[in-house]
Structure 1
């Protein structure tokens, strides 16, 4: 025996799976059987004849009738000494009892489900004992009603038809006293030994359960206006229920219905069609709708279980899918409503268009229809942008539309769609987490195309309907014709109002603009770089044309610095993060999280491969932007046949008495003026550019050494500022400027001199900077956007010397290191590249010059 028990224990999970599958199979089978007995066309006719308040009251009665059964599970959990959350108890109990109503098999299904849901962490023997005590009381309420019904038959109206069921009522009525005696006198652990309080609570629960069942059936009949005597219907209903339970048919399907149809037809001369309608509504509101709610609870608990098992991924995925479906439905519904109001005849003439449109407004006038359609589109923008502020207005709009539909034009298809929309909105609440709307170019493009197309279509139709329009000269498109100009004008007025509403609502979603990061604090930035190190781009932060974002580790220390500029909804980060490399991943993740919460999308510009791998984990796409030339200083030399030209250049400049010097700050005003003169001559009519490049700023140049080339008279003819990288491994420069009168090869002389000096200082390699689009898209397997970049590189030399720049740097480069731009998949690569083009090529103007357009946008940040 022990071997058999152990065999079952070892395969417990398998038997649990078989049980769940069996229950699902039974439920599906019974639902299929019920579906065959229900005529949905007939239900539609019934509902159309019933007023809304009656349908709502039937629904409320059916839901209240299920609630008493919670008492079974309260007693069960108390018997098992379990303390579960009230919400969990309510949901699981409703699920168990609604499934049991559909496919009960005399309560056996409910016992199996309760064992599975409440007996996981309890000894199996204890669970069986507790369930057996619950099981015997499940029918006590029906037994009590059987006794009362028998008395009604004997002492009530003399009705021979009901007397034939007396034996069934007596049999059912004997069950209650029998179990009372059994629980009192039998002293085993399975049936006896039940506390009196628990017995009374179980009896009361069962009595209330059957009271609810009976009340649901009777009240639905009353609300339908069917004349009947309750004293006759109650015994018939109870007898039919007893026979149905004894037959072990789930939901007493078939036997119960046949008895009720024959009985009610005989007792009250009620037409069979009316009885069938009565039974249909009873099954709908007591069985089907509570069961569907139970399915929702089942899916919720199943998702919670799966969510815990798979680290939250299923819930996140389902919420995301729900959010996307919600956005699609709102945009689709809005467009369809506007089109059905703009060209209503088209939906009548074209069957496929009518099938595509689930919205049917027979009594809905032009004005509210267009208001509703465009409002759904506007609300859809807030939902699509995941803005928290859109939640309440969207629910309010759906409820308002639902109320209007119910009272103005009752359409069940519309009610179902609105109910689905409402459920999706509620379920997607966690997905609406952003604090503000940043109305991006991508959003403006989508909304602009949709709104403009709908508005232009409406205006064109208005012109087409003008009396002066020569219809006789053109092919008449019948569905473009409006019944009257007044109707068209009401719609046009709605469009004007919705345009104002759109502006107000967008402003509401935007709120008070909050920006990411903070204005540069030079002391904090310098302290961080000095302590933890930087890179070839770190010094650009001190140009003061970018904001900074500082990450603090768990100890509260500032360890990582990011420099970026915000343009539209894109926070464009320049280069790799600076600081403690071990904290880069955490810093980037925190930055992405904060920008996302505020509605911005980070773009990481010209970053290294290590950052690409980090950001790929966060779902970022990337495009190669070019390659960076690195000179290995440890092996650099101008000796040998290959460097013969470089030796000649160095010898020539030495013979002509040109000198290389490195000047250290602070610089005298005279020196700065001389450097500015060289810079201005080099610029000519061109404008300074910033962001990824340094520009001539005295404050910026005072922060680093400057390498200069002086002529025989000691005048500066060329210079380059040496950028601090805050590390001994890497050296680089920023501005490279020279006079027109400087001899050819002056920059070669400057570069080689810097190489030699840095080599003496022990620096490992020199970074000569980017060669844009270099070696990008050369493979046939490259990304399509990189293949386009290759074409730009190949044929764009007319405008920019891509190939010439690489060729020059290649003279000294020991290796080429790729650089990438990474962007969120929520961004359009087209708009990312436009933003980079604008922000990286925006001219730097003097502070006293009035700015306009894009320059003003780039210069002015949002107010904090």
Structure 2
């Protein structure tokens, strides 16, 4: 039993995914089986016989019945005394419930919209969470309430098999109402929880509202069924509605689309009622109670309330991009299905007379291309790309015209028009530019596609014994001449899709070399504010800066793909740090980029924590108190011996000042190259040997008796502080033993003489991170990821070496938003630190990830 529990614990997500997939596949199989026998022509005939007033009646009744779903929000807004306009409460309720009905996903769609909408009115976060949970739970309670009258109905019609299930469902309602009587007090920590003792009135009120909402929905369903199948009683229809709705929820298919209808057909068939009247009634229900309210909800969502703040506009832009992306994707899928199912794609006779067969074929193929392109463009919509927005509007308009020209496909046309309108109403959010289209890459892909297609033709002709030169079969020379559109359609569509995919890739913020104007702004800022330990690295010209709107806080960062990698703590006015961090994140998110703060100290963790960042320790920083540093004591015996040996070896310490002449720079370069060997220079959080960079600060050197440089370290100034720091630390391979000890000790002594209080020895990566048996997976992952750096740069011995100088150790962290994005962020940091433009180590990372998990 324990093994089973352990196996389930390790593979819980996979098991759930498999179960959901099996449910969806089983449901899809049943749907296909039931739909296969439908007569589409008969359904079309029934649709044509509907009068205008019948259509108006069904739509009006559907909207009226659905409108009661918004009452949840009225009840809760009044109960929690939320100061919101009643019209806005109704708007939120309608939008949330309409998306819940249409998209479903266990109520997640409605919850997301409610959270987004209430946040705009500064409703307390706890209240918002409470409302979302209450609505999610109460919504299903009303459905279960109908189980009792349904069980009575089952007895009357002589179908008692499902009565135990109905009774069990109704029992859940009673348990909900009297939940304060259950032994769950220790689990109810929130006094205002729906399950708390004082919330009986609210539970009863919500149960009545939910029951009434579901009753109206069932009544509309029953009325529609009875209108076309009079012999079916209202009670029978209500029973079917309750059971079929439960099946739809269990199926996990968005909105129960298909699964609900098939369950209804099966249940009615068990009662002895047949098609197609029932099927047509179900279509009316789906359109009038689900699709049309959703279209109204979508339009309401497009209409923004006045006086939105900048942050609210930003949040809405991200939300709308995801929503419209899903809408465009689903529209593309609907268009593809309309082409793939000819029985639902019937053209009027007039079209057949006006256009020859090949034009009708072309029309279908053109519609298919539009569907495929919309599916591809949905990713560009998600990334708020302007080109993707404009192309989508154009294609949706063309698709609507094509559907209207057929004279039958009004539903598809309306969907296309509404989505196009939604995109146009939100066009202000789609301002992102795209990356430059690589023409040579596109040509190579086109050649590759045609080579594959030619290979396919050769293979087809061989296997089907087609004589290419003299035959008339498919893919013979004669066939290709007579049907060029048919033959070239597939490869041309493939090339078009590749071109669109390449053309809608969002152009993220890119690194740009700093201009003279930018350098002037940078220097003026630091005339007023002190440096951080990493400020001087800006002169490496491998980072950009972000200055807040007030001009009081500055961050150093490097963009990498969709990441903004910020180095160290912010500089400037501490009181403005939290707002500036928020401003930086909004700017990054507006460009669809994630933010990571690298090598931050514990000083400002609260500022990061307050806006939802998570932390991961990545090492410890060593700082020496130079005023109290001495070489006395048994522990420092080796260091004393090292200093005493300097004179006997003819070594001397020297501080050289910029600008450096060519001879000095060449000598330093020779030492640096010898020390590096085959290793690469590091960047971003460390400096590299660049003449322009080194010429901005003094350099500490150890010279031999003839004045040749044996080792050196460049100063990394921290203006406005009493801290001395160094960056590059390099020596000749044949330098005397202990040469770096000599350099460090003499630098510390020089710092003491020149009024410094601390000497920053830098970071020991991985110090006390991920090396414990019970360390988290992500800590182990960091440890293993840095193994890659250790192979090249040798990190592991740093702590041991720095401990010689009795430093004080303080933790350094990475601040990040999401555990799922952490591996990608770490890879981005590795690549930026090693100066790579692309991630080349995915296979290596995958190996590290597996090791970390094990």
TM-score by length of 1: 0.53
2:767 pairs with one of 770, 774, 786: 774
Give the structure 2 partner of residue 354 of structure 1.
none
Bigger mean CA deviation after superposition, 649-658 or 318-327: 318-327
In the TM superposition, residue 401 of structure 1 has moved relative to its aligned partner by 1.8
What is the root-mean-square deviation in Å for CA atoms of aligned residues?
5.8
What corresponds to 1:400 in structure 2? 398
Q: Quick one: which of 553, 568, 571 aligns to 1:560? A: 553
Distance 1:722 1:373, change over 3 A: same
Structure 1 residue corresponding to 2:597, chosen from 578, 601, 604 = 604
Q: Is the 8 A contact 1:720 1:737 kept in 2?
A: yes
Indicate the residue corresponding to 1:538 in structure 2: 535
Q: Does 1:526 align with 2:523?
A: yes
In the alignment, what sits opposite 2:780?
787
**Deviation readout 1:85-122 (Å, 9 max, x if unpaired):** xx989x99xx9xxxxxxxxxxxxxxxxxxxxxxxxxxx
Distance 1:400 1:699, change over 3 A: same
Provide closer, same or farther for how the CA distance between residues 315 and 463 of structure 1 changes in structure 2, counting only shifts above 3 A. same
| 1:323 Cα deviation after fit | 4.3
Q: Which string of whole-angstrom CA distances, capped at 9 and with x for unpartnered residues, describes residues 180-224 of structure 1?
A: xxxxxxxxxxxxxxxxxxxxxxxxxxxxxxxxxxxxxxxxxxxxx
Displacement of 1:748 after TM fit? 0.5
Q: Take 1:291 and 1:740, find their aligned partners in 2: how far apart are those partners? A: 75
Q: Tell me what 1:688 maps to.
A: 681
Shift of 1:720: 0.8
Query: Is residue 49 from structure 1 mapped to residue 48 from structure 2 by the alignment?
Result: yes
Residue number in structure 2 paired with 1:548: 545
Using the alignment, how far apart are the partners of 1:492 and 1:610 within structure 2? 64
Structure 2 distance, partners of 1:549, 1:709, is 38
CA offset at residue 763 of structure 1? Answer: 3.0
For structure 1, the 5+ residue unaligned runs are 1-40, 67-86, 96-249, 262-276, 348-361, 441-450, 473-480, 844-851, 856-864
Match of 1:359 in 2: none
Moved more, 505-514 or 748-757: 505-514
Structure 2 CA distance for aligned equivalents of residues 325 and 650 of structure 1: 68
**1:609 to 1:459, Cα distance in 2 relative to 1, 3 A:** farther
In structure 2, C-alpha distance between the alignment counterparts of 1:698 and 1:316, rounded to whole Å? 43
1:578: Cα distance to partner?
2.9
Q: CA deviation at 1:768?
A: 1.6
Aligned 8 A contact 1:530 1:726 in 2: no
Aligned-pair distance for 1:700? Answer: 1.8
Closer, same or farther: CA 732–512 of 1 in aligned 2, 3 Å:
closer
CA distance in structure 2 between the partners assigned to 1:319 and 1:718 by the alignment: 55
Q: Is the 8 A contact 2:547 2:554 kept in 1?
A: yes
| In structure 2, C-alpha distance between the alignment counterparts of 1:44 and 1:619, rounded to whole Å | 54
Distance in 2 between residues matched to 1:825 and 1:409, nearest whole Å? 50
Whether the 8 Å contact between 1:773 and 1:790 is mirrored in structure 2 is yes
* Residue 569 (structure 2) pairs with residue 576 (structure 1): yes
Counterparts in 2 of 1:579 and 1:655: CA distance versus 1, 3 Å: farther
Match of 1:754 in 2: 747
Alignment of 1:355-754 (within 5 A): 367-408=365-406, 410-411=408-409, 414=412, 418=416, 421-422=419-420, 425=423, 432-437=429-434, 466-469=460-463, 490=486, 493-497=489-493, 499-500=495-496, 503=499, 507=503, 519=515, 521-553=518-550, 558-610=551-603, 613-620=606-613, 622-754=615-747
- Relative to structure 1, the CA distance from residue 651 to residue 412 in structure 2 (aligned partners, 3 Å threshold; closer, same or farther) is same
**1:532 Cα deviation (Å)?**
0.6
Partner of 1:153: none
Tell me the distance in 2 between the aligned counterparts of 1:408 and 1:461. 38
Hey, what's the Cα distance between the residues in 2 that align with 1:61 and 1:297?
Answer: 18
CA-to-aligned-CA distance 1:701-756 (integer Å, 9 cap, x gap): 22212111122233322111111011324221011122233211010111111122
- SS of equivalent to 2:729: strand
How far apart are 1:385 and its partner, in Å?
A: 0.4
1:760 positional shift: 3.7
Contact 2:554 2:570 in 1 (8 A): yes
The answer (yes or no) to whether the contact 1:533–1:580 under 8 Å persists in 2 is no
Across the two proteins, how many residue pairs are aligned to each other?
563
Equivalent-residue separation in structure 2 for 1:371 and 1:412 (angstroms):
20
Q: Which residue of 1 aligns with 2:325?
A: 327
CA contact (8 A) 1:662 1:705 kept: yes
CA–CA distance in structure 2, aligned partners of residues 291 and 57 of structure 1: 18
Distance 2:830 2:42 in 1: 63
Unaligned runs of 5+ in 2: 1-39, 64-85, 95-218, 231-276, 346-359, 438-444, 467-474, 841-854
Does the 8 Å CA contact 2:718/2:725 hold for their aligned counterparts?
yes
Any idea what the Cα deviations from partners look like across 1:543-596, whole Å, max 9, x if unmatched?
Answer: 22333333352xxxx433333333334333333333333333333333333344
Greater CA drift, 525-534 or 759-768 = 759-768
On the 8 A contact 1:303/1:315 being kept in 2, the answer is no
8 Å CA contact 2:679–2:792 kept in 1: the answer is no
Using the TM superposition, give the Cα deviation of residue 539 of structure 1 relative to its aligned residue in structure 2, in angstroms: 0.6
CA contact (8 A) 1:723 1:732 kept: yes
| 3-state secondary structure, aligned to 1:576 | strand
Q: Using the TM superposition, give the Cα deviation of residue 653 of structure 1 relative to its aligned residue in structure 2, in angstroms.
A: 1.3
Distance 1:400 1:523, change over 3 A: closer
Quick one: structure 1 residues 492 and 338, their matched pair in 2 at CA, closer, same or farther if it must change by over 3 Å? farther
8 A contact 2:59–2:288 mirrored in 1:
no
SS at match of 1:717: strand
Aligned equivalents of 2:564, 2:823: Cα separation in 1: 16
The verdict on how the C-alpha distance between 1:771 and 1:853 changes in structure 2, with shifts beyond 3 A counting, is: closer
SS at match of 2:742: helix
